[in-house]
Chain A
């Protein structure tokens, strides 16, 4: 009964303006904001990247704008995309192809496909065939985490991207420039961390949709602009008169790639759940803490990825700790339970689930799981499921 949610009353004032701005960015699948940014200077180049993570610092240092391509959400009509993918493949790549063949990705001068799964990997090859005149690169992240092996390989991958982007923009990536970029993104990390911190403390101040929109804005705006936006938002919501509801606190896992539609987030909240932590747009805070801005910046980025990034299903869990990390995180954010939600047909997320489930079971943490896709339109089942989950915790308590 999804949409039965009456549209939230439009907010006035500065807060309303910020949310409207973020919403516009989110809904702009023609990437007009990127075109506007490029129009200001002929040398500007935009590099689109797919989920989950690329070191945006490197693109930034070369004077490029890293732009997250997160699929078409529930706003794209799939006309030709279905002719590229069989019915048993997740939804994200078909909307990305739809955007590509309809010219809506023309704002991008290049594309990076991080190693996350076979679908995105093969999508990189499809782009090579469909966009022969654009820079298309499969960005291989290491699964070996020794500095001398994976670290070296990764540094080389990053350098190759830096060179390619520099060739387009004409500005070389020097170590100094890269360190500067790291600093810029560290400020962004702090802004997002502060927002997340506030959300954990007072989730009623930050509806899931707004939090989500803030993160997504970071995939379109230049980093410092985004940092300012987030900081202002964080300030404004604290001054709002939003009051807590009798909701439970839940954590979401599994939604790191294909993104849920906004209406789904709204449905979860309406069903009585505050989302106090999630892995939506997780690449935007994949390395939560600031990265070292001194010394060899390439090594610093590599070290951060290999040792301090958030766990996802597409990175090898060398230390066999994903269960422990999950349980610890639940405790840290004081979640009453976990929603394991995964995109339909997503091998990494769905194959991860049994392992996460047994960790939660062992720790006595309630959880429930369901599948979605970016264009899910029927939320009745999800609402019932999340609602029942919330009821159980509300009626019987856990803490």
Chain B
């Protein structure tokens, strides 16, 4: 089948979507951005294709009558979890190899044995963690290998130190050094191999539910997806390995993406990892004015990342935690780097964890408010996009502040909001082909 791809190479995460010829999203992929943009784009795209294939699989399963709805859903979820598990273990193996290679370095001559034993224990710990995470009913703390493996790594390492093992630093340093190459390599197995490996992970009982499953999987895995055009956008767009005419400015893509998701959108707020954008669009989705933070990354998504790190919890958990707060602490400085220190200070001052976290969310939203005010305020309808839109506490704070100051509003948040830029890009790709705009005619 024919399809289009949009890639948004953000400062924190890289997102890709696959659109069908009707402009519907059929697949989404996300990965963290890294020093190698090509890899990031490739991984995101691969993920998007994976998700597209899973979507097709789901469609096919849906059409079947020999299996109950319940079983079908269970099967799907288990297969997806197992697939992710496989991916994770692949990365973990690569991490292990890199660590072992690293330990061969001369400077570890005296500590090699100790560290290598510790590594064994740590990896075992991570594998166990993975076993418990990659089951259908678990909510993952993060989608990314770095985050999941990293926090399990640190936890295990600090246990080891406490029990008289090697210095904490020496182990964490090993992780820091070796996670980079791992992130910059892609999985060597193809979709089909991975899928089949996942298939074999499924418990027997589940497999018996559908006798022809293996065959179906094969078919899906080998189905040809014909990519007509890819358009890239985002912070890293200039570095994308694409021709110039396949690149659009992130502001345009966000504006269009938001307009497509919610056609009545007038104001768009996008809070990403390192930038915040306030965009005004006209009824056709064309950007009329915008403001962006420059020079300072205070109050962007990374800020929440630092806080989650500081608390050693996952990003996903931060919002719900703040939602538990009834009061909030007023926080004025949102320097990302200071976030951790400020958090500790306030804890030491006896303020409640949840209230502080609640205050931090409010602080981010207030910073975004100044950008919004500068770009021309908020006009109904108001669409919130970017990674931070996934965070319920940020959304709550935004709704409160916006309504207090601009009156009652329709606040749109799509489940796909993190993909807004990518959707815009994908749509540009589609328009280029469908409307017959030849490459080069409509530059970014």
Q: A78 to B345, Cβ gap below 8 A?
A: no
Q: B330 to A82, Cβ gap below 8 A?
A: no
Q: B366 to A2, Cβ gap below 8 A?
A: no
Q: A3 to B366, Cβ gap below 8 A?
A: no
The residue that A82 contacts in the complex, of B335, B345, B370, B401, with Cβ under 8 A, is B370
Q: A75 to B351, Cβ gap below 8 A?
A: no
- C-alpha gap A272/B63 in the complex (Å): 76
Q: Which of A122-130, A170-178, A372-380 binds B?
A: A372-380
Interface-central residue, B332, B349, B351, B377, by most chain A CB under 10 Å: B332
Q: B366 to A377, Cβ gap below 8 A?
A: no
Q: A77 to B401, Cβ gap below 8 A?
A: yes
Asked, given contacts A77-B401, A380-B341, whether A4 binds B348 with beta carbons under 8 Å apart, the answer is yes
Q: Is B413 at the interface (CB under 8 A from chain A)?
A: no
Q: B332 to A375, Cβ gap below 8 A?
A: yes
Q: Is B373 at the interface (CB under 8 A from chain A)?
A: yes
Q: B405 to A79, Cβ gap below 8 A?
A: yes
- C-alpha gap A89/B331 in the complex (Å): 21
Q: Which residue in chain A gives the minimum CB-CB distance to B296?
A: A87
Interface positions, chain A 59-80, Cβ under 8 Å from B, are 74-75, 77-80
Contacts of A5 in B (CB 8 A): 349
Contacts of A77 in B (CB 8 A): 330, 362, 366, 369, 401
Contacts of A4 in B (CB 8 A): 345, 348-349
Minimal beta-carbon separation of B276 from chain A (angstroms): 13
The residue that A80 contacts in the complex, of B330, B331, B351, B405, with Cβ under 8 A, is B405
The residue that B332 contacts in the complex, of A80, A83, A377, A380, with Cβ under 8 A, is A377
The 8 A CB mask of A49-65 against B (1 = contact, 0 = none) is 00000000000000000
Minimal beta-carbon separation of B277 from chain A (angstroms): 16
Q: B338 to A378, Cβ gap below 8 A?
A: yes
Q: Is B333 at the interface (CB under 8 A from chain A)?
A: yes
Asked, given contacts A376-B332, A377-B332, whether A82 binds B374 with beta carbons under 8 Å apart, the answer is yes
Contacts of B345 in A (CB 8 A): 1-4, 380
Contacts of A82 in B (CB 8 A): 369-370, 373-374
Interface positions, chain A 101-125, Cβ under 8 Å from B, are 102
- C-alpha gap A102/B351 in the complex (Å): 29
The 8 A CB mask of B335-346 against A (1 = contact, 0 = none) is 100100110011
Q: Which residue in chain B gives the minimum CB-CB distance to A83?
A: B373
Contacts of A7 in B (CB 8 A): 350
Q: Count contacts on B: residues with CB < 8 A to the other chain.
A: 24
- C-alpha gap A69/B76 in the complex (Å): 64
Q: Which residue in chain B gives the minimum CB-CB distance to A84?
A: B373
Contacts of A377 in B (CB 8 A): 331-333, 342
- C-alpha gap A375/B363 in the complex (Å): 12
Minimal beta-carbon separation of B354 from chain A (angstroms): 16
Q: A102 to B374, Cβ gap below 8 A?
A: no
Interface positions, chain A 322-378, Cβ under 8 Å from B, are 375-378
- C-alpha gap A380/B330 in the complex (Å): 17
Q: Is A6 at the interface (CB under 8 A from chain B)?
A: yes
Q: A78 to B366, Cβ gap below 8 A?
A: yes
Q: B369 to A79, Cβ gap below 8 A?
A: yes
Q: B373 to A80, Cβ gap below 8 A?
A: yes
The residue that A83 contacts in the complex, of B341, B349, B370, B401, with Cβ under 8 A, is B370
- C-alpha gap A2/B369 in the complex (Å): 26
- C-alpha gap A378/B338 in the complex (Å): 9
The 8 A CB mask of A3-42 against B (1 = contact, 0 = none) is 1111100000000000000000000000000000000000
Contacts of B341 in A (CB 8 A): 380
Q: B401 to A79, Cβ gap below 8 A?
A: yes
Contacts of A378 in B (CB 8 A): 332-333, 335, 338, 342
Minimal beta-carbon separation of B402 from chain A (angstroms): 9
Interface positions, chain B 379-430, Cβ under 8 Å from A, are 401, 404-405
Q: Which residue in chain A gives the minimum CB-CB distance to B341?
A: A380
- C-alpha gap A378/B332 in the complex (Å): 8
Q: Which residue in chain B gives the minimum CB-CB distance to A3?
A: B349
Minimal beta-carbon separation of A228 from chain B (angstroms): 32
The residue that B346 contacts in the complex, of A3, A78, A81, with Cβ under 8 A, is A3
Minimal beta-carbon separation of A355 from chain B (angstroms): 31
The 8 A CB mask of B352-373 against A (1 = contact, 0 = none) is 0000000000100010011001
Contacts of B405 in A (CB 8 A): 79-80, 102
Give the 10 A-B residue pairs with the shortest CB-CB distance, closest first: A377-B332, A83-B373, A82-B370, A3-B349, A377-B333, A79-B369, A378-B333, A4-B348, A375-B332, A79-B405
Extra 4 A-B pairs, beta carbons < 8 Å, given A6-B350, A77-B401, A83-B377:
A2-B345, A4-B345, A82-B374, A83-B370
A-to-B contact residues, CB < 8 Å: 1-7, 74-75, 77-83, 102, 375-378, 380
